[in-house]
């Protein structure tokens, strides 16, 4: 892929931002509650830069990125998970995918989002409207993916993901997703928290968890202040004996490439490829819808691709 606006003013700042963007997995209350925290400020900024998004578009798509990242926490090997929202609102929905390596990509189904009046809030419900949330898990080695679907009940990605988990798995789940903007509309903090109460948890654990959640800082604030998520988790949930399992990187990343798009071109019927190679217009520009990277092919390059056709 091509990152149009790497996050950070210089190489040193980019490395620092890269080191902060991570997913943290943990357990609480004798392993009866599982949790995930994601710091994603760099990821959301680079997503925004590639798609050239406004504040509203960044807010909605960014929440989908953070939510999908949290849901990918238990993936392994070649596993991947995707969430798709199809709505009747002006945003139309989102399509986002994450894999076990912490790579996240995806797009808004309508961008820019048509807005008829100045925004009074970042309530996303009017922009998503009624519709469906679809979650698809592709597990390496399995012949068919698992797909679950629920109606949008809230028009809020965090609440609708929680509703999906409860409906599909009968497991009480909380998502807390937040993106902070400064006075100039720049993203200065992006983070998310996922908590799921597993079978076997007692009522006291449920009550204590609900009580402690009220004191948990906004994930966006934690990211903005560059706090150590491990320390925050240990401090807030100390009464439930947190067990930090580890962390790994997360990143706005797509495995598209010029070579891959050249391969796609080579699969066109020879007649169609010849027409493009002869008539242009040049350069021929191809765009990856998952990350908005663009790849240009000159007349000479297209002629070489054409020569490989039998």
Q: φ, ψ for residue 40 (rounded to 5)? A: -135, 30
Copy the structure tokens of residue 253: 């990343």
At residue 89's C-alpha, the angle toward residues 88 and 92, to 5°, is: 75
Average pLDDT over residues 12-16: 90
- Tell me the pLDDT of the chain averaged across its residues: 94
Residue 206 has pLDDT above 90, yes or no: no
Q: Which of 126, 122, 153 is nearest to 55 (CA)?
A: 122
Distance separating alpha carbons of residues 63 and 73, to the nearest angstrom: 16
Distance separating alpha carbons of residues 252 and 199, to the nearest angstrom: 33
What pLDDT score does 119 carry? 76
Residue 243 has pLDDT above 90, yes or no: yes
Look-up of token digits 């995930």: 36
What pLDDT score does 234 carry? 96
Q: Which domains does the chain have, with CATH numbers?
A: 11-252 (3.55.30.10), 258-307 (3.90.1280.10)
What pLDDT score does 46 carry? 98
CA dihedral (220, 225, 228, 229) in degrees, to 10, reads: -10
Percent of the chain at pLDDT exceeding 70:
100
What pLDDT score does 308 carry? 86
pTM: 0.95
Average pLDDT over residues 42-66: 97
Q: Which of 213, 193, 210 is nearest to 201 (CA)?
A: 210
Distance separating alpha carbons of residues 21 and 65, to the nearest angstrom: 13
Average pLDDT over residues 3-31: 93
Residue 12 has pLDDT above 80, yes or no: yes
pLDDT band of 171, cuts 50, 70, 90: confident
pLDDT band of 40, cuts 50, 70, 90: very high
What pLDDT score does 169 carry? 83
Residue 246 has pLDDT above 90, yes or no: yes
Cβ–Cβ under 8 Å, residues 197 and 32: yes
pLDDT band of 309, cuts 50, 70, 90: confident
What pLDDT score does 116 carry? 81
Average pLDDT over residues 185-190: 96
Q: Among 50-54, 59-63, 131-135, 206-210, name the one with the lowest average pLDDT.
A: 206-210
pLDDT digits (tens, 9 = 90+) for 72-121: 999 999 999 999 999 999 999 999 999 999 999 999 999 999 998 777 77
């Amino acid at each position: 892929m091509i990152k149009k606006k790497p996050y950070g003013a210089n190489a040193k700042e980019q490395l620092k931002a890269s080191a902060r963007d991570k997913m943290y997995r943990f357990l609480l209350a004798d392993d009866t509650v599982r949790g995930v925290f994601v710091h994603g400020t760099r990821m959301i900024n680079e997503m925004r830069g590639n798609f050239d998004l406004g504040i509203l578009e960044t807010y909605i798509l960014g929440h989908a990125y953070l939510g999908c990242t949290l849901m990918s926490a238990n993936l392994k090997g070649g596993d991947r998970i995707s969430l798709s929202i199809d709505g009747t609102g002006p945003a139309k929905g989102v399509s986002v995918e994450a894999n076990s390596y912490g790579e996240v990509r995806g797009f808004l189904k309508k961008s820019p989002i048509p807005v008829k009046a100045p925004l009074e809030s970042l309530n996303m419900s009017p922009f998503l409207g009624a519709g469906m949330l679809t979650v698809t898990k592709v597990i390496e080695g399995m012949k068919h993916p698992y797909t679950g679907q629920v109606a949008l009940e809230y028009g809020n990605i965090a609440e609708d993901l929680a509703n999906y988990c409860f409906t599909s798995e009968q497991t009480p789940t909380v998502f807390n997703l937040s993106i902070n903007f400064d006075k100039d509309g720049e993203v200065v903090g992006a983070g998310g928290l996922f908590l799921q109460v597993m079978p076997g948890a007692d009522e006291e654990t449920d009550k204590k968890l609900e009580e402690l959640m009220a004191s948990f800082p906004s994930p966006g604030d934690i990211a903005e202040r560059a706090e150590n998520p491990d320390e925050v988790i240990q401090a807030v949930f100390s009464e439930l004996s947190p067990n930090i399992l580890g962390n790994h990187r997360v990143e706005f990343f797509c495995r598209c490439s010029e070579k891959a798009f050249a391969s796609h071109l080579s699969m066109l019927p020879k007649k169609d490829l010849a027409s493009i190679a002869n008539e242009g217009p040049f350069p021929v520009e191809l765009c990856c819808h998952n990350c908005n990277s663009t790849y240009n092919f000159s007349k000479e390059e297209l002629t070489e691709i054409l020569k490989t056709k039998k």
